Amino acid sequence: IASSPLMHPDKIQLCVVLVDWTVETTKELRLGECTGYMQMQKPGAQIMCAVRSSAIVLPKEPQKPVIMAGMGTGLAPWRAVTQERVMQKRQGIDVGKCMLFFGARYKQEWLYREEFEGYEAEGVLQMHTAFSREQARKIYVQHRIVEAGNDVAQRMLNEGGHFYVCGSARQVPEDIYTAMKEVMMAHERCGEEDAEAILSNLKMEGRYTVEAW
């Protein structure tokens, strides 16, 4: 789900990538069961669906900063979160800063770019992008997190911020965790063990959440 009910009360907007692959032995093109089914639907079609509770729980106090990291369609929940904060601000509520780290292969894969740039202009969002194949040296989200380490540590350790990761379970959570550990070591001038203890406490407090598949 890539939308907030505060901004779109009568709609649920999805961010979906079609899953497809070619069978090596037969060269047959296969489609994912769910995304293939959705691709075949025509505008106005009615389908059965259910909405489940998310593992992503926003801070009770909207003044608390939110730091989000997402790759590809992992951007979906962070669009919803940002929309929520934008609508709260428009309603006169004091909201904490949103930091969003988004990664893709190429700049043309920057989903919802104009919309996010608009939220930046409203002063709600601070965007950091990493396009791994746009230059000779591959740059990933974890590199951007380390680069913005002072801001990340300030919002997490001094302002009670919440950190969220969404993306592939294969390597993303581990790489982001390593980057966050590096941030803590630099900011707190501590060793690896102490940095891991800081991150462990954040997880226990519900302020470090991973949504991976």
CA distance 105 to 72: 9
Q: Indicate if the pLDDT at residue 55 is higher than 90.
A: no
pLDDT of residue 56: 84
pLDDT of residue 57: 87
pLDDT digits (tens, 9 = 90+) for 13-24: 999 999 999 999
CA distance 122 to 207: 25
pLDDT of residue 96: 95
Rounded to two decimals, what is the model's pTM? 0.91
Q: Which residues neighbour 170 within 8 Å (Cβ) at sequence distance 6 or greater?
A: none
pLDDT of residue 138: 93
- Return the H-helix or E-strand segment holding 184: helix 172-188
- Residue 145's pLDDT band (boundaries 50, 70, 90)? very high
Eight-class DSSP state of 7 = T
Mean pLDDT (whole number) for 80-87: 97
Could you give the residue ranges of the DSSP H alpha helices within the chain?
33-40, 76-90, 113-121, 141-147, 149-153, 172-188, 192-204
pLDDT of residue 20: 94
